[in-house]
Protein backbone atom coordinates (compact mmCIF):
# COMPACT_ATOMS: atom_id res chain seq x y z
CA UNK A 1 0.00 0.00 0.00
CA UNK A 2 2.84 2.39 0.83
CA UNK A 3 4.48 1.65 -2.52
CA UNK A 4 1.18 2.33 -4.32
CA UNK A 5 0.74 5.62 -2.48
CA UNK A 6 4.33 6.54 -3.32
CA UNK A 7 3.73 6.04 -7.04
CA UNK A 8 0.43 7.92 -6.92
CA UNK A 9 2.13 10.84 -5.18
CA UNK A 10 4.98 10.73 -7.68
CA UNK A 11 2.51 10.80 -10.61
CA UNK A 12 0.62 13.75 -9.10
CA UNK A 13 3.83 15.73 -8.53
CA UNK A 14 4.98 14.97 -12.08
CA UNK A 15 1.66 16.15 -13.49
CA UNK A 16 1.83 19.36 -11.46
CA UNK A 17 5.39 20.05 -12.57
CA UNK A 18 4.68 19.40 -16.26
CA UNK A 19 1.38 21.31 -16.35
CA UNK A 20 2.73 24.36 -14.53
CA UNK A 21 5.83 24.27 -16.73
CA UNK A 22 3.70 24.24 -19.89
CA UNK A 23 1.61 27.16 -18.68
CA UNK A 24 4.76 29.17 -17.92
CA UNK A 25 6.24 28.41 -21.36
CA UNK A 26 3.00 29.32 -23.14
CA UNK A 27 2.99 32.62 -21.30
CA UNK A 28 5.69 33.65 -23.78
CA UNK A 29 5.52 31.11 -26.63
CA UNK A 30 2.52 30.40 -28.90
CA UNK A 31 1.10 26.90 -28.29
CA UNK A 32 2.46 24.86 -31.22
CA UNK A 33 -0.60 22.59 -31.60
CA UNK A 34 -3.74 21.55 -29.74
CA UNK A 35 -5.67 18.29 -29.45
CA UNK A 36 -8.51 19.79 -31.50
CA UNK A 37 -6.10 20.71 -34.29
CA UNK A 38 -4.64 17.19 -34.20
CA UNK A 39 -8.17 15.83 -34.54
CA UNK A 40 -8.77 17.94 -37.66
CA UNK A 41 -5.46 16.89 -39.16
CA UNK A 42 -6.20 13.21 -38.53
CA UNK A 43 -9.71 13.71 -39.92
CA UNK A 44 -8.31 15.11 -43.15
CA UNK A 45 -9.38 18.73 -42.67
CA UNK A 46 -5.93 20.09 -41.93
CA UNK A 47 -5.26 22.93 -39.50
CA UNK A 48 -4.74 26.40 -40.95
CA UNK A 49 -3.55 28.98 -38.43
CA UNK A 50 -1.86 32.38 -38.62
CA UNK A 51 -0.71 33.66 -35.23
CA UNK A 52 -1.14 37.40 -34.72
CA UNK A 53 -0.16 39.44 -31.67
CA UNK A 54 -3.02 41.03 -29.77
CA UNK A 55 -1.28 44.36 -30.40
CA UNK A 56 -2.04 43.91 -34.11
CA UNK A 57 -5.51 42.33 -33.91
CA UNK A 58 -8.20 44.94 -34.51
CA UNK A 59 -9.85 45.95 -31.21
CA UNK A 60 -13.24 45.29 -32.79
CA UNK A 61 -12.41 41.57 -32.67
CA UNK A 62 -11.58 41.60 -28.98
CA UNK A 63 -14.76 43.52 -28.23
CA UNK A 64 -16.83 41.17 -30.39
CA UNK A 65 -15.44 38.15 -28.52
CA UNK A 66 -16.28 39.73 -25.17
CA UNK A 67 -19.74 40.73 -26.38
CA UNK A 68 -20.47 37.25 -27.69
CA UNK A 69 -18.74 34.94 -25.24
CA UNK A 70 -18.00 36.59 -21.91
CA UNK A 71 -19.27 40.09 -21.05
CA UNK A 72 -17.68 39.93 -17.59
CA UNK A 73 -14.29 38.73 -18.84
CA UNK A 74 -12.41 41.63 -17.23
CA UNK A 75 -14.34 41.36 -13.95
CA UNK A 76 -14.16 37.67 -13.02
CA UNK A 77 -11.19 35.51 -12.01
CA UNK A 78 -11.79 32.72 -14.50
CA UNK A 79 -15.29 31.59 -13.51
CA UNK A 80 -18.49 33.59 -13.96
CA UNK A 81 -20.81 32.21 -11.30
CA UNK A 82 -23.69 34.40 -12.49
CA UNK A 83 -23.44 32.99 -16.02
CA UNK A 84 -23.23 29.43 -14.66
CA UNK A 85 -26.37 29.96 -12.58
CA UNK A 86 -28.22 31.47 -15.55
CA UNK A 87 -27.16 28.60 -17.81
CA UNK A 88 -28.31 26.07 -15.21
CA UNK A 89 -31.70 27.77 -14.91
CA UNK A 90 -32.17 27.77 -18.72
CA UNK A 91 -31.11 24.14 -19.02
CA UNK A 92 -33.64 23.10 -16.36
CA UNK A 93 -36.39 24.34 -18.66
CA UNK A 94 -35.28 21.96 -21.41
CA UNK A 95 -34.31 22.70 -24.99
CA UNK A 96 -30.77 23.22 -26.24
CA UNK A 97 -28.16 22.76 -23.52
CA UNK A 98 -26.15 25.90 -22.85
CA UNK A 99 -22.96 26.30 -20.89
CA UNK A 100 -21.63 29.10 -18.73
CA UNK A 101 -17.98 28.80 -19.70
CA UNK A 102 -15.85 31.93 -19.70
CA UNK A 103 -13.22 32.84 -22.28
CA UNK A 104 -10.62 31.77 -19.70
CA UNK A 105 -12.21 28.31 -19.39
CA UNK A 106 -12.51 27.94 -23.15
CA UNK A 107 -8.86 28.91 -23.59
CA UNK A 108 -7.76 26.38 -20.97
CA UNK A 109 -9.76 23.67 -22.73
CA UNK A 110 -8.63 24.62 -26.23
CA UNK A 111 -4.93 24.77 -25.39
CA UNK A 112 -4.42 21.94 -22.90
CA UNK A 113 -7.35 19.54 -23.21
CA UNK A 114 -9.71 17.78 -25.58
CA UNK A 115 -13.26 18.63 -26.61
CA UNK A 116 -16.26 16.88 -25.12
CA UNK A 117 -17.77 16.55 -21.67
CA UNK A 118 -17.08 14.49 -18.61
CA UNK A 119 -16.30 15.38 -15.03
CA UNK A 120 -12.59 14.58 -15.35
CA UNK A 121 -12.16 16.97 -18.27
CA UNK A 122 -14.18 19.68 -16.49
CA UNK A 123 -12.03 19.29 -13.37
CA UNK A 124 -8.84 19.60 -15.42
CA UNK A 125 -10.33 22.60 -17.23
CA UNK A 126 -10.95 24.31 -13.87
CA UNK A 127 -7.38 23.52 -12.79
CA UNK A 128 -5.83 24.99 -15.94
CA UNK A 129 -8.17 27.99 -15.76
CA UNK A 130 -6.81 28.86 -12.31
CA UNK A 131 -3.25 28.49 -13.60
CA UNK A 132 -3.62 30.72 -16.66
CA UNK A 133 -5.55 33.37 -14.74
CA UNK A 134 -2.69 33.64 -12.25
CA UNK A 135 0.28 33.08 -14.57
CA UNK A 136 -0.86 34.60 -17.88
CA UNK A 137 -3.25 37.37 -16.94
CA UNK A 138 -6.21 38.62 -18.97
CA UNK A 139 -4.37 40.12 -21.92
CA UNK A 140 -2.41 36.94 -22.65
CA UNK A 141 -5.50 34.79 -22.17
CA UNK A 142 -7.36 36.86 -24.76
CA UNK A 143 -4.39 36.78 -27.14
CA UNK A 144 -4.13 32.99 -26.98
CA UNK A 145 -7.90 32.56 -27.22
CA UNK A 146 -8.12 34.67 -30.38
CA UNK A 147 -5.34 32.60 -31.93
CA UNK A 148 -6.42 29.06 -31.05
CA UNK A 149 -10.22 29.25 -31.15
CA UNK A 150 -11.69 27.32 -34.06
CA UNK A 151 -13.20 29.75 -36.60
CA UNK A 152 -14.19 27.22 -39.25
CA UNK A 153 -13.54 23.64 -40.28
CA UNK A 154 -9.76 23.25 -40.13
CA UNK A 155 -9.32 26.99 -39.45
CA UNK A 156 -7.90 28.26 -36.16
CA UNK A 157 -7.62 31.79 -34.85
CA UNK A 158 -9.31 35.01 -35.91
CA UNK A 159 -6.49 35.92 -38.28
CA UNK A 160 -6.86 32.71 -40.29
CA UNK A 161 -10.63 33.20 -40.08
CA UNK A 162 -10.39 36.73 -41.45
CA UNK A 163 -8.20 35.52 -44.32
CA UNK A 164 -10.66 32.73 -45.07
CA UNK A 165 -13.83 34.80 -44.93
CA UNK A 166 -12.79 38.34 -45.91
CA UNK A 167 -9.48 37.90 -47.78
CA UNK A 168 -7.55 40.22 -45.46
CA UNK A 169 -5.89 39.75 -42.08
CA UNK A 170 -7.30 40.51 -38.63
CA UNK A 171 -5.41 43.78 -38.23
CA UNK A 172 -8.34 45.57 -39.84
CA UNK A 173 -11.82 44.28 -39.14
CA UNK A 174 -15.04 46.23 -39.29
CA UNK A 175 -17.48 45.72 -36.41
CA UNK A 176 -19.62 43.61 -38.75
CA UNK A 177 -16.72 41.40 -39.84
CA UNK A 178 -15.57 40.89 -36.25
CA UNK A 179 -19.13 40.04 -35.21
CA UNK A 180 -19.47 37.47 -38.01
CA UNK A 181 -16.33 35.68 -36.82
CA UNK A 182 -17.52 35.83 -33.19
CA UNK A 183 -20.91 34.41 -34.20
CA UNK A 184 -19.15 31.34 -35.62
CA UNK A 185 -17.12 30.57 -32.47
CA UNK A 186 -19.67 28.46 -30.54
CA UNK A 187 -20.24 26.05 -33.46
CA UNK A 188 -17.43 26.62 -35.99
CA UNK A 189 -18.07 23.42 -37.91
CA UNK A 190 -21.75 24.23 -38.49
CA UNK A 191 -21.98 28.02 -38.84
CA UNK A 192 -21.04 30.07 -41.90
CA UNK A 193 -18.77 33.09 -41.61
CA UNK A 194 -19.73 34.31 -45.07
CA UNK A 195 -23.32 35.14 -45.98
CA UNK A 196 -24.69 33.78 -42.68
CA UNK A 197 -28.38 33.00 -42.47
CA UNK A 198 -31.02 32.36 -39.86
CA UNK A 199 -29.83 32.33 -36.27
CA UNK A 200 -26.18 32.96 -37.17
CA UNK A 201 -27.14 36.13 -39.06
CA UNK A 202 -29.34 37.40 -36.22
CA UNK A 203 -26.66 36.53 -33.67
CA UNK A 204 -24.05 38.41 -35.69
CA UNK A 205 -26.31 41.45 -35.85
CA UNK A 206 -26.76 41.34 -32.07
CA UNK A 207 -23.00 41.10 -31.50
CA UNK A 208 -22.40 44.04 -33.86
CA UNK A 209 -24.76 46.19 -31.80
CA UNK A 210 -23.01 45.21 -28.55
CA UNK A 211 -19.48 46.09 -29.69
CA UNK A 212 -20.06 49.78 -29.02
CA UNK A 213 -21.41 48.95 -25.56
CA UNK A 214 -18.29 46.93 -24.72
CA UNK A 215 -16.11 49.88 -25.68
CA UNK A 216 -18.27 52.54 -24.07
CA UNK A 217 -18.65 50.67 -20.77
CA UNK A 218 -14.98 49.74 -20.61
CA UNK A 219 -15.68 46.00 -20.61
CA UNK A 220 -12.43 45.48 -22.55
CA UNK A 221 -10.22 47.64 -20.32
CA UNK A 222 -8.14 44.67 -19.15
CA UNK A 223 -6.96 43.87 -22.68
CA UNK A 224 -6.39 47.36 -24.07
- List Cβ neighbours of 118 (8 Å cut-off, separation of 6 or more): none
Per-residue pLDDT of the chain (224 residues; tens, 9 = 90+): 889 999 999 999 999 999 999 999 999 999 999 999 999 999 999 999 999 999 999 999 999 999 999 999 999 999 998 877 776 666 666 655 456 799 999 999 999 998 877 889 999 999 999 999 999 999 999 999 999 999 999 999 999 999 999 999 999 999 999 999 999 998 888 887 777 888 889 999 999 999 999 999 999 999 99
Amino acid sequence: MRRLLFWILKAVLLFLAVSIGMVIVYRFVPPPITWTQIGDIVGGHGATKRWMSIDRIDPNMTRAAIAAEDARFCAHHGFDLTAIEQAYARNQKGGRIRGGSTISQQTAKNVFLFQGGGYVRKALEAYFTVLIENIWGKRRIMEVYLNVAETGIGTYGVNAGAMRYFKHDASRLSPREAAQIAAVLPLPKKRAGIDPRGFTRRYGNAITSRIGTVRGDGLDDCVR
